[in-house]
A and B are shown apart, each in its own frame.
Chain A
Amino acid sequence: DPKIIQKPKYLVAVTGSEKILICEQYLGHNAMYWYRQSAKKPLEFMFSYSYQKLMDNQTASSRFQPQSSKKNHLDLQITALKPDDSATYFCASSPRDTEVFFGKGTRLTVV
């Protein structure tokens, strides 16, 4: 059973539109993250949330906004989508100071 559920698995969006990527984790971790994997760059850290509070933000653009409605939820809202945003977005979580567990990802294509 997948312990980190990401929805949808695939997503196609039009340039300029807005999308929300959903993530729920059932590992009991208090810390959750978003990473991005694109064709041009290695897997890269975006955000860190702990106890539903933003702890670390490595994303320069304000078009990317995490949203945490529950302790085990961390969605990612992306506005004014650009073709360069096309990537696979991974939700992840971890117990404190140990390995990071990744979901299966949402592959976003912006046309």
Chain B
Amino acid sequence: QQKVQQSPESLSVPEGGMASLNCTSSDRNFQYFWWYRQHSGEGPKALMSIFSDGDKKEGRFTAHLNKASLHVSLHIRDSQPSDSALYFCAASYSGGSNYKLTFGKGTLLTVTP
């Protein structure tokens, strides 16, 4: 069983719309959660991390963590065509092992002009 599961597998939103991506973990030992974005032909790039319950906002991106349900979400406001990419949720067991990430399979986001 995958320790980090993402949904949906793919998502299409119109330019200017809101994209919502979900991630659930099956391992309660995970303490840190990350969102990474990978454009075609590139390596993954970190968008943001979250480790406390609640919301964390960075520009158009808002992450939400609910540790009780082991659920993390990413909301992208005012989506742009340049946001079209593969989005990964990743988790680590501690701050000291943030290099050792367990990734989900990803959500492919397409923003249509």
Contacts and interface: CB of A to CB of B under 8 A. Distances in A.
Contacts, number: 54
B43 A102 contact: yes
Contacts of B7: none
B102 to A, nearest CB: 8
Interface string A89-111: 01010100111111111000000
B95 interface: yes
Most chain A CB atoms below 10 A, which of B43, B44, B102? B43
A17 B75 CA distance: 45
B43 A103 contact: yes
Interface residues of A, number: 22
B62 interface: no
Nearest to A6: B43
A49 to B, nearest CB: 10
Interface in B17-65: 34, 41-46, 49
A99 B41 contact: no
Contacts of A33: 99
A81 interface: no
A58 B3 CA distance: 16
A102 B45 contact: yes
B101 A45 contact: yes
A41 to B, nearest CB: 8
Given A99-B49, A103-B43, A104-B43, A42 B103 contact: yes
Interface in A1-53: 4, 31, 33, 42-45, 48
A44 B34 CA distance: 14
Contacts of A45: 99-102
Given A42-B104, A94-B98, 19 more contacts: A31-B99, A42-B2, A42-B4, A42-B88, A42-B102, A42-B106, A43-B44, A43-B90, A43-B101, A45-B99, A45-B102, A56-B100, A58-B100, A94-B99, A100-B46, A100-B99, A101-B45, A102-B43, A104-B43
Interface of B: 2, 4, 34, 41-46, 49, 88, 90, 95-96, 98-106
